[in-house]
Amino acid sequence: MSTPALFLLASVVGLAFTASALFRARRLAALQIPYFFAAWMTGELALHHVAWQAVATLVFVAFGALGAWPGWLGLGLTLVSWAGLVVLQGRSAHSAEVFARALRDGLAHDPDAAARLRELPPQVPFRQIARPFRMRRSGVERVRDIPYGPAGHRNHLDVYRPRERSGPCPTLLQIHGGGWTIGRKDQQALPLMNRLASDGWVCVAANYRLSPRATFPDHLIDVKRALAWIRTEGPRFGADPDFVVVTGGSAGGHLAALLALTTNDARFQPGFEDVDTSVAACVPFYGVYDFLDRNQTRGSASMVPFLERVVMKCSPQGERARWDEASPIAQVHAGAPPFFVIHGTHDALAYVEEARHFVEALRSVSANPVLYAELPGAQHAFDLFHSRRSAHAVDAVACFLGYLHALYARRVAA
């Protein structure tokens, strides 16, 4: 193949990556996962894609790519791709205002929240965007593989904490995602946990049993057991057992929401029924909130067959109550803790309409604030590494949790 033709092929590939992030696509069958990965990496790393496409263009031009018409066509497609990448970067910048609006609307009842909103940084340092996978912070230490449950299971957790501590630290429990079948405690929410730990928090990331070996509610029981560990053993690692919040993404968002909505439910606390499993707040990222898809948001892309075969191991017709127990939307109640639900409009794996229905249902009954940030163009797992959108999410969550902890500290001091 000639150099101009190769350049054209590379330009088509680059434009396809850009288009995958610009336009939402669903029901692609076997192409859904490749589409997700292309859209995810391009949408969050738009500037990096500009860089690699620019380098590739210079190399091809140096080797004579513009010596024939396919090369010129490739150059035109590359310029179109760059324009799209600029649009993507602008979308990610808009997330700052989306988060600020969610915080303003959700906390409008308290004038103290306005002062915290003014502290939100308007810009993201370029060095942070340039090094998306650099997670470690100098003031943070990690204690690895602490057992919290039966030996031989996946019941281990990691603790991220400030190296220098004075007194009990507010605590975050992080639940990883992975479709209830894969994933590890050290793979997700690293930007958030390292940021909070550097701000004086203790962050606990827990593994839990996975399907198909595990059957729901095994997953929920394990994350509740991790919360029980924080209550009883967390103080040895600097945690404040009286102020614990929970977060998670995807399947972790589902489990975080369920944990927050099933406080002290003995069905999900076998052997530790008397331990307090309440949380001060819940921050689910791009979660799954309705196993039954009762609002028909997924249509032919329904997750029910997968869940029936792999996670629930029973049919929704035969055991409807169990499927409701596994659906956060069916568990909402007036005593739910404060929620900050975060979801992207272009999520190819957990549809944004499901998040909207969940927020609507929760707001209709909850006595506590329910914040919702819907991020234009954001894909599933957008927060796994540093990007402009991820940084704004971390800042907003830190603001929300800092506000709640300040309220808690004032109550304790009163």
C-alpha 260/C-alpha 218 separation (Å) is 16
- The helix-helix angle for 32-44 and 3-22 (nearest 10°) equals 90
Paired strand residues for 204? 159, 173
Tokens of 328: 């956060």
Query: How many C-beta neighbours within 10 Å does residue 287 have?
Result: 27
C-alpha 11/C-alpha 18 separation (Å) is 11
Q: In what order do the strands lie in the sheet with 370-375?
A: 140-147, 156-162, 202-206, 169-175, 239-249, 281-285, 339-344, 370-375
C-alpha 212/C-alpha 318 separation (Å) is 20
Paired strand residues for 311? none
User: 374-407 burial, b if ≥16 CB within 10 A, otherwise e?
Assistant: bbebbbbbbbbbbbbbbbbbbbbbbbbbbbbbee
C-alpha 380/C-alpha 248 separation (Å) is 12
> Which residue type does 257 have?
A
Tokens of 124: 């993201």
Known catalytic residues are 250, 347, 380
